[in-house]
Structure 1
Amino acid sequence: MRRVSIGILSLLILLSGCVSDQENFQIIFERDVENIEKYIGENAIPSVKEFNDPALGIWIFWQETSGGGIKPELGDTLTVNYTGKLLNNSVFDTSHEDVARENNIFDPNRTYEPIQFVSGYSQVIAGFEFALFQMEQGDKATVLFPSLYGYGPAQQPGIPSNSPLIFELELVKINGIQEEEVIDE
């Protein structure tokens, strides 16, 4: 009987190893999308404009639109205020000192100000950058996306592995080609 149990256990371990990474990612993605949709159903997110790409599982809700028409392009330097949260609404990071203090994540050794990065060069996680490419300078929006576009299976401080994320974003400024072309004219 013991040999049969060991044999069955060995077979289960062997078969579980046969599930491809792609199948695992698909299962995690589907779970993330379900959790995001549940969150949206249970938490009213005020918006004046919405975007949803079901194939990507990404939702964007604009709280403010600038109407200025200036959108990021590849290579632009973006200046962004943000607050990152999990689906349980716990804040894990922010560029706002008051939000950090309110959520007990304040770090006195850190400077709280908008971040700057060059767009299109993977300097921020994919879901964060995807949302910014949908926005215009001056827009404020909330984006929700599956863990695939965040940190995936990699655990981060305050972020468990495979966590769908929420970011409240304000695209403060775009410095780049568009601005230089206006100055040269």
Structure 2
Amino acid sequence: MRKLSIVAVALVFGLVGCISDDANYNVQLERDMQAIENYLQENPIASVKEFKDDPTGLRIFWQELSESEIEPELGDTIFVNYTGKLLSNAVFDTSIESVARENNIYDSSRPYQPLAFLFGYGQVILGFEFTISKMEEGDKATTIFPSIFGYGTEERPSIPRNSPLIYEMELVRIGKIRTEDPENI
């Protein structure tokens, strides 16, 4: 009888484990989306243009539109200034020295300059890269997105697990590779 109970308990945990991945994903997404809506109610973000993806909860608010018509393409080198915050408005990272100093997160061992990464290769978190995909060179925008598009269940220094994230971003430059440039051949 005891063996049967152990098997039954193991089976229940096994089934719950299979179901819980999707259920946990949906529950966490709903929690994050509600937390984002609450944040935006209390902290409206001024913008000249907005993007909202209802199924994912991802939001983008442009503070400045450059109208440069220079958009990122796969393999471009992106240069972006950013400030990352939690819904508590606590800054956890930035590429801007003055912002780091103002928020007591300054680290003298790191360079404060635009972040450079290859676009489309997963070198940054999904919400960050998706936002860049919607911007043009010179745009300034604030994005806010659920934890699944950030670090999800992974806990990071200064970022609790399942944290929706806010990024203030300036797409400083898009480095294009031109085949006609002899240095790039």
Three-state SS of the structure 2 residue aligned to 1:21 is helix
Partner of 1:112: 112
- Give the aligned partner of residue 35 of structure 1: 35
SS in 2 for 1:171: strand
Taking structure 2 as the reference length, the TM-score comes to: 0.88
Shift of the alpha carbon at 1:24?
0.5
Q: May I ask how many residue pairs the two structures share in their alignment?
A: 175
1:183 Cα shift?
6.8
- Matched residues, percent identical? 57
Inter-CA distance 78–21: structure 2 relative to 1 (3 Å threshold): same
Q: Which residue does the alignment assign to 2:23?
A: 23
Deviation at 1:18, TM superposition (A): 5.7
How far is the alpha carbon of 1:181 from its aligned partner? 6.6
How far is the alpha carbon of 1:176 from its aligned partner?
1.5
- In structure 2, runs of 5+ residues without a counterpart are 1-5
Q: Please, what is the CA RMSD of the aligned residues?
A: 2.2
Distance 1:182 1:38, change over 3 A: farther
Q: Which residue of 2 aligns with 1:58?
A: 58
Per the alignment, in what secondary structure is the counterpart of residue 20 of structure 1?
A: helix
Structure 2 Cα separation of the partners of residues 173 and 124 of structure 1: 17
Structure 2 equivalent of residue 98 of structure 1: 98
1:19 deviation in Å?
A: 3.7
Q: What whole-Å deviation, never above 9, does each CA across 1:60-102 have from its counterpart, x for those lacking one? A: 0000000111110111100000000000000000001110011
Structure 1 residue runs without a partner (length 5+): 1-6
Q: Which amino acid aligns with 1:142?
A: T
Q: For each residue in 1:109-138, what CA deviation from the matched residue of structure 2 results, as whole angstroms up to 9, or x when unmatched?
A: 111110100000000000000000000000
- Quote the offset at 1:55 in angstroms: 1.0
Which position in structure 1 is the counterpart of 2:157? 157
Spell out structure 1 runs of 4+ moving beyond 3 A.
13-19, 181-184
CA distance in 2, matches of 1:183, 1:64: 31
Find the counterpart in structure 1 of residue 173 from structure 2: 173
Paired amino acid for 2:85:
K
TM-score by length of 1: 0.88
Matches within 5 A, 1:76-95: 76-95=76-95
Query: SS at 2:148's partner residue?
Result: helix
C-alpha deviation, 1:44, in angstroms: 1.7
- Counterpart residue number, 2:126: 126
